[in-house]
A and B are shown apart, each in its own frame.
Chain A
């Protein structure tokens, strides 16, 4: 049983395109996150949603737009993709006051050519 799933696992696309990455968790958690891990393995939080409400929005270009249709889903839409967007994107979830114990998805490797 997959706890946090992401689709697709790999995404190769050209500059200027618009793409979406989907994330779903079946853990009943109320908080979900998106992280970006660059080529140097540095992991940085992008967004966090709690009960469908945006609570963390780091300095991310507004080409990135998260959407949370319900507590179990947090999708990431990226407009006008750029070369620098190439990275691995991780979705994660946690429950309320146990925000330190986040369960991560398998990651989506995005390559922009």
Chain B
């Protein structure tokens, strides 16, 4: 069963606007972590942000913030003030208590000037 779901089609966003990438997850483990990675066209995977299941506040890292809604099992990524360099695939991922990692299928984002 798929544990991480990213269903949005490819997205176009205007430069300087904000974009929200949806991610829902499924786990019965009380302790887990959620994170987002960016994969630009060059192929490398870049860690962006992390949210622990017991964290009280939503994680933020610069222009990235994670909208964590535990009851809904969602962990959406918000990128504010989009830049051309934000064009990439974005992967939501989850770590469960046994340190197993599961990735979603990714969201393609294209920032247009």
Given that A100-B50, A101-B47 are contacting pairs, would A41 and B106 also be in contact in the complex, using a CB cutoff of 8 Å? yes
Q: Are B105 and A106 in contact (CB under 8 A)?
A: no
Question: Closest residue of chain B to A40, judged by CB?
Answer: B105
B37 to chain A, nearest CB (A): 8
CA distance A103 to B35 in the complex (A): 13
CA distance A34 to B99 in the complex (A): 14
Q: Are B99 and A48 in contact (CB under 8 A)?
A: yes
A62 to chain B, nearest CB (A): 20
For A90, the chain B residues whose CB sits under 8 A away are 45
Scan residues 17-71 of chain B and give those whose CB is less than 8 A from a CB of chain A. 33, 35, 37, 39, 43-47, 50
CA distance A107 to B43 in the complex (A): 7
For A48, the chain B residues whose CB sits under 8 A away are 99
A66 to chain B, nearest CB (A): 16
Question: Closest residue of chain B to A4, judged by CB?
Answer: B44
Majority SS of interface residues in chain B? strand
Q: Are A99 and B103 in contact (CB under 8 A)?
A: no
Binary contact track B84-110/A, C-beta < 8 Å → 1, others 0:
000001010001000111110110000
Question: Closest residue of chain B to A105, judged by CB?
Answer: B44
A88: Cβ under 8 A from any B Cβ? yes
Q: State how many residues of chain B have any CB contact under 8 Å with chain A.
A: 20
Query: Which residue among A33, A41, A55, A106 has the maximum number of chain B CB atoms within 10 Å of its CB?
Result: A41
B90 to chain A, nearest CB (A): 11
CA distance A45 to B35 in the complex (A): 15
Q: Are A103 and B99 in contact (CB under 8 A)?
A: no
Scan residues 55-78 of chain A and give those whose CB is less than 8 A from a CB of chain B. 55-56
Question: Closest residue of chain A to B42, judged by CB?
Answer: A106
Binding site for A on B (CB under 8 A): 33, 35, 37, 39, 43-47, 50, 89, 91, 95, 99-103, 105-106
23 contacts between A and B (CB under 8 A): A40-B105, A41-B106, A42-B103, A43-B91, A43-B103, A45-B102, A55-B99, A56-B99, A56-B100, A88-B43, A99-B33, A99-B95, A99-B99, A100-B35, A100-B50, A101-B35, A102-B45, A102-B47, A103-B47, A104-B45, A104-B46, A105-B44, A106-B43
